Structure 1
């Protein structure tokens, strides 16, 4: 999952946090064999996750890494500052990761509890 960082291979595009959350949903609820079927809640939960991620990222102006991290991944000095400066925009990433993982946990837990 490391290539998700920096917005899909350091491109600044879609935040890897969303990709990671959807990967967890797919791993948890997706089909386990080629002729199998996805869990009936997979698409519903995935949609909710994407919509909530939009909300989580509103303060940053979008869901792309470049919006959240406010960095050009091709600028070596900016990247060094991002990782070494504790007050850098990396704190935005920490907030997004935390909010996304909390929501994902609640979303999966709630939907499985309702199913039982």
Structure 2
């Protein structure tokens, strides 16, 4: 039994974080990609911290997913959950990177 954590980061233009319409589009895109891999994904809370973005989600097997968007344009995505030795990973690093490169890193 182990705790699994996948941490990704990528950048977008700082204007995506500053502009509420662009920020909304980014949140929607990230939520859509996460929902493809996490059946039952549910938003828990959303907050602004000094102009940055913070969104928390919960998903299968008690997973907690944190999305943080910094005012400089850095986005971090942290996925953590508990995994029994005989269980498959919910998401692999390779799948995460493929999704980031194909959907967000434009």
TM-score (normalizing by structure 1) = 0.33
TM-score (norm 2): 0.35
Q: Which has the higher contact order (CA 8 A, sep 6+)?
A: 2
Radius of gyration: which is bigger?
1
- Structure having the higher helix fraction is 1
- Which has more strand, going by share of residues? 2
